[in-house]
Amino acid sequence: MVLPITDHDLRLAFDLAPLGLIVARDRVIQSCNAVLSGMFGYAHGELQEKSLKLLYPSPAEFETIGARGLSVMRETGLYSDERIMKRRDGSLFWCHVSGRAADRRQPYECAVWAFEDISDKRPVATRLSERERDIARLLVTGMTSKEIARQIGISPRTVEAHRSRLMHKFESRTPGQLIARLAGIPA
């Protein structure tokens, strides 16, 4: 006989999950588990009623990634990517982020987000500008310069200029080597 799941069971699942979890309404944290708080360097409960903007490297990245996620979540109800996030002390780290909307028509009205710190596999080894972080995030997904340009609303030549600076910063001789380094794969 299968016993029904209780509210206590659900709370345990949320609190003991091996990933950082957030329940957000209109991109404001309603609840998060201790793993999430610790991952970002906050005391448990300290992030409640705070904007998710606090966890992004810049307000512009909060807006651009949010706009990108909104359109995808309206189509599918789900969104997932790997991006650089910011800890309380200002340090940056790579994070895998996945979210699910309660209602696809209004994805940010209520959504559940899971965060996984992937900095062990992909350390932030060099300082990047906001635009370089955006381009690096899209490069590791396999997008071409033209696709990246369309996605973020700049020219392909500008993407190439940023890619060239990234290659220099990551001491990469080929685009493949750059992507490997961005992805944390030893070259």
Q: Which domain holds residue 50?
A: 7-117
Question: Which whole number is the average pLDDT over 146-174?
Answer: 87
Same domain membership, residue 97 and residue 14: yes
Same domain membership, residue 39 and residue 93: yes
- Measured from the Cβ of residue 153, the count of other Cβ atoms closer than 10 Å reads 7
Confidence tier at 177 by pLDDT (50, 70, 90): confident
For residue 153, pLDDT beyond 90: no
Q: State the Cα–Cα distance between residues 149 and 98, nearest whole angstrom.
A: 24
For residue 98, pLDDT beyond 80: yes
Same domain membership, residue 136 and residue 108: no
Q: Single out the residue in 117, 144, 163 at which a domain terminates.
A: 117
For residue 187, pLDDT beyond 60: no
Same domain membership, residue 165 and residue 98: no
Q: State the Cα–Cα distance between residues 116 and 129, nearest whole angstrom.
A: 23
Q: What is the pLDDT of residues 100-132, one digit of tens each?
A: 999 999 999 999 999 999 988 876 767 778 788
Q: Single out the residue in 117, 139, 172 at which a domain terminates.
A: 117
Q: What is the pLDDT of residues 55-87, one digit of tens each?
A: 999 998 899 899 989 999 999 999 999 898 999
Provide the pLDDT for residue 116. 97
Same domain membership, residue 99 and residue 54: yes
More confident residue, 160 or 169: 160
Provide the pLDDT for residue 50. 97
Provide the pLDDT for residue 185. 66
Look at the chain and report how many structural domains it folds into. Answer: 2
Contact 12, 18 (CB under 8 A): no
Same domain membership, residue 75 and residue 26: yes
Q: Which of 136, 137, 138, 155 is CA-nearest to residue 146?
A: 155
Mean pLDDT of the chain, nearest integer? 89
* Residue 2 included in any domain: no
Q: What is the pLDDT of residues 33-47, one digit of tens each?
A: 999 999 999 999 999
Same domain membership, residue 113 and residue 58: yes
Same domain membership, residue 136 and residue 90: no
| DSSP reduced 3-state for 116 | strand
Same domain membership, residue 158 and residue 113: no
Q: pLDDT over 90 for what percent of the chain?
A: 56
CATH number for the domain spanning 148: value is 1.10.10.10
Same domain membership, residue 87 and residue 17: yes
Q: Residue 173: what residue type?
A: R
Same domain membership, residue 104 and residue 14: yes
Q: What sign does the CA torsion over 163, 165, 169, 175 have?
A: positive
CATH number for the domain spanning 95: value is 3.30.450.20
Same domain membership, residue 93 and residue 165: no
* Residue 143 included in any domain: yes
For residue 97, pLDDT beyond 80: yes
Provide the pLDDT for residue 54. 97
